[in-house]
Amino acid sequence: MKEERADVTEVFASHVFTEDKMERYVPAFIVAEYRKCLETGSSLSMETADAIAKGMKEWAIGLGATHFTHWFQPLTGGTAEKHESFIEPVGKGRVIMEFSGKELVKGEPDASSFPSGGLRATFEARGYSAWDPTSYAFVEDGSLCIPTVFFSYSGESLDRKTPLLRSIKALNKQALRVLRLFGDTETKSVTSMVGSEQEYFLLDKEMFNKREDLRICGRTLFGAKPPKTQELDDHYFGSIKPRVSAYMKDLETELWKLGVLAKTKHNEVAPSQHEMAPIYTDCNSANDQNQLTMNIMRKVADRHGLVCLLAEKPFDGVNGSGKHNNWSVATNRGKNLLSPGKTPAQNAQFLLFLSAFVSAVDEYQDLLRYSVSFAGNDHRLGGNEAPPAIISIFLGTELQGVIDSIINETSYGAQAVKPIKIGIDSMPFIPRDTTDRNRTSPVAFTGNKFEFRMPGSSQSISEPNTVLNTIMADKLGEFADILEKVPADEMNSALHDLLKKQFTEHCRIIFNGNGYDQSWVDEAKRRGLSNLRTTAQAMERYLCDKNISLMERHEVMTKSEMAAREEVGIENYCNIISIEAKTLLGMVRREIIPAVSAFEGALCRTLTDKIGIFGKDESDVEYTECLRLSKDNRELAALIEKLSASVDGAPADMTVATAAYYHDKVLSVMEDIRLAANDAEQLVPDGYWPYPTYRQLLFSV
């Protein structure tokens, strides 16, 4: 029977209120007013908002929507929504469907139940959501979802989206200043472009539900490594199993309906691990779409009797999942400013943007590291499937040669006959994409973009992109301050001197070797680079004067908004480890120790029977196994008492020191329990062991 497939061009964005749909449902003069507001940054009139709201409602009802919601991204890292129906009573038991401009533009969800980091007291419930007109509304699950920002009664940002929008604005402002120096008067706007690859695991729902640690914590707290994981590299890019393929097809269709540019799908390295990668889009849309993607992944998995697991390291000893954040800068005319050009002037401009990025990452390496610091990612960073915790940039041999020639004022390329002098009108040709990728690098240049490989698979991409946008804006602004004062006839010399200075001062951040090698740790220390291995260590560097000044200078966040995010991060980190510890205590006490005891008892009975018949023989396998099981149980019993005491003894205040306590005093004991439990698991038969093993979980789909 021939499989029926939907026409992708008809399905794509069918559930999104794009501008072409606005043109069909909203009067032309209103659409023109809307576009003018987007271009100038001015506010919509209530007349315009009412007309757009009416068109949105009619379009959404046509897709079966009965409710609307302001869809926002609180400091939890996920999304939130409060649904209101369109119905309004008109008397005599009848209703009409209404949706006003006021309801479109502004909402008032309760802010007291979301983490605010001290920006709001518990009794101060009022929070506001305001429509982000640069993000398209969409229909999902019978509701019209309106992307919004979320802020407090006194105006502080209570979400992840607002700082991201502010950082995009800052980048646009400073990048335009630089482009004007190169004679570009036509570009109207500049924004960051992002493509966020999403890795995930698929597990059988029935097996998943039998693991309390997976249900509560999203990752396994113990589990013996199976004989085979990713050693043979046979799962990576391998043939996709029918059950997984059916899920992927369903997922793609749902994402396409919502305008998500789902492009690539494949098996990842670990068994039961997969990846979805979208096409690049503007940073704001990419952030919204990645949040949507994670939500839809979970929903679609449920339909297929599966669970989509987004934890960074759900299985110890098995490759974890990241979210490679591909970042570039582009103009409204489609010019990628991180792409080498065809003319000397274009390449000079490219090198200026490249040097800004290199300098920014070096100066704010601790801030960038902080942007990907949380409990789940601590288990992944530094492993051989993830970048090390040391921030560095991979540029490759071609660009390294160019930079060396600038620093040393030596010739570059086979046709070069004199030392390089960078200027607006003199620059050798720079080939594109002539270097292999470096999967061990946290930040790798891949031809026309930087791949930031450190974000975790479950996290919002808003924070790392907020940092990337802001630090890039800062360096571009610094460069513009210098070059705007230079006379036109001295521009070439000034540009050359600026590039040489930046590359010379910040070349320590460039590393083209193996980031997994221990020698790099030693070399990085010699260079003076940070090695912040844990979230607690990264948090110590966050609220420094340099970082606060950066964010306030570009009006991305105030000091109080930054402090709030630190407080939320600390509380989240401590609570996650506390929850995991308590979950582990319960599983060991109620299930694992009794299971080991039960099997040990069975072995003892067998051994007693044998002794009665043949006499005592200490070489009996039952005797040896009983001793080992008894040792594991004694060790488990002692360790859970130690863990219980560590949890009970945790400081009540939520500070960086408390986060360090949970890492050093709680998590370390949990890892000891894992080893003891894993040893016992390898001795106890499946009939006695209370939980599905890694063997069963990873090879059941």
pTM of the model: 0.93
- Distance, in Å, from the CA atom of 690 to the CA atom of 583, rounded to the nearest integer, reads 15
On the question of pLDDT at 59 being above 80, the answer is yes
Pairing, β 306-309 against β 198-204: antiparallel
- Distance, in Å, from the CA atom of 538 to the CA atom of 535, rounded to the nearest integer, reads 5
Strands (E), 259-388: 262-267, 273-278, 281-282, 306-309, 325-331
Max CA separation in the chain (angstroms): 104
What integer is the mean pLDDT of 484-492?
Answer: 92
Neighbouring-strand partners of residue 466: none
On the question of pLDDT at 384 being above 80, the answer is no
DSSP labels, 125-169: -BEEEEE-TTS--EEETTEEEEEEEEEETTS-B-BSHHHHHHHHH
- Distance, in Å, from the CA atom of 234 to the CA atom of 232, rounded to the nearest integer, reads 5
User: Do residues 531 and 521 make contact, with C-beta atoms less than 8 angstroms apart?
Assistant: yes
Reading the block at residue 282, the tokens are 């503007």
Reading the block at residue 641, the tokens are 């008492």
Tell me: the pLDDT tens digits for 334-355? 999 999 877 666 788 999 999 9
CA neighbor of 477 nearest in space, from 315, 377, 570, 360: 360
- Distance, in Å, from the CA atom of 295 to the CA atom of 71, rounded to the nearest integer, reads 12
- Burial (CB < 10 A; 0-12, 13-18, 19+), residue 334, is exposed
What H or E segment, with its residue span, contains residue 679? helix 668-681
Tell me: the pLDDT tens digits for 148-180? 999 887 788 999 999 999 999 999 999 999 999
> 31 φ, ψ to 5°?
-60, -40
Tell me: the pLDDT tens digits for 579-619? 999 999 999 999 999 999 999 999 888 888 776 655 556 66
If you search the block for the tokens 């909402």, which residue do you land on? Answer: 107
The predicted pLDDT at position 416 comes to 44
What H or E segment, with its residue span, contains residue 358? helix 344-363
- Distance, in Å, from the CA atom of 355 to the CA atom of 504, rounded to the nearest integer, reads 10
Pairing, β 306-309 against β 80-85: unpaired
**CA quadruple 542, 544, 545, 546: dihedral sign:** negative
CA neighbor of 14 nearest in space, from 264, 255, 295: 255
The predicted pLDDT at position 619 comes to 61
If you search the block for the tokens 């420094």, which residue do you land on? Answer: 544
- The neighbour count for residue 535, using CB atoms within 10 Å, is 28
- Distance, in Å, from the CA atom of 604 to the CA atom of 151, rounded to the nearest integer, reads 64
DSSP conformation class of 402: H
- Distance, in Å, from the CA atom of 366 to the CA atom of 372, rounded to the nearest integer, reads 10
Tell me: the pLDDT tens digits for 230-272? 777 777 888 899 999 999 999 999 999 999 999 999 999 899 9
Decide whether 8-159 matches 571-698 in CATH topology.
Answer: no
On the question of pLDDT at 424 being above 60, the answer is no
Reading the block at residue 668, the tokens are 């370390």
Q: Report the CATH architecture of 571-698.
A: Up-down Bundle (1.20)
The predicted pLDDT at position 345 comes to 60
CA neighbor of 274 nearest in space, from 231, 317, 307: 307
Q: What is the helix, strand, coil percentage profile of the chain, to 5?
A: 50, 15, 35
pLDDT over 70 for what percent of the chain? Answer: 91
With both helix axes pointing from N to C terminus, report the angle between 462-483 and 491-506 in degrees, rounded to the nearest 10: 140
pLDDT over 90 for what percent of the chain? Answer: 72
- Distance, in Å, from the CA atom of 164 to the CA atom of 608, rounded to the nearest integer, reads 69
- Distance, in Å, from the CA atom of 464 to the CA atom of 484, rounded to the nearest integer, reads 30
Neighbouring-strand partners of residue 129: 107, 150
Would you state the torsion angle of the CA atoms of residues 62, 65, 68, 70, taken in this order, to the nearest 10 degrees? -90
Whole-angstrom Cα Rg for the chain? 28
Tell me: the pLDDT tens digits for 517-574? 889 999 999 999 999 999 999 999 999 999 999 999 999 999 999 999 999 999 999 9
The predicted pLDDT at position 121 comes to 61
Query: By three-state DSSP, how is residue 71 classified?
Result: strand
Reading the block at residue 688, the tokens are 């006695």
- CATH class as words, domain 8-159: alpha beta
Instruction: Please report, for the chain, the start and end positions of each structural domain, with discontinuous segments joined by +.
Output: 8-159, 162-196+322-557, 571-698
Tell me: the pLDDT tens digits for 19-50? 999 999 999 999 999 998 888 878 888 999 99
The predicted pLDDT at position 414 comes to 44
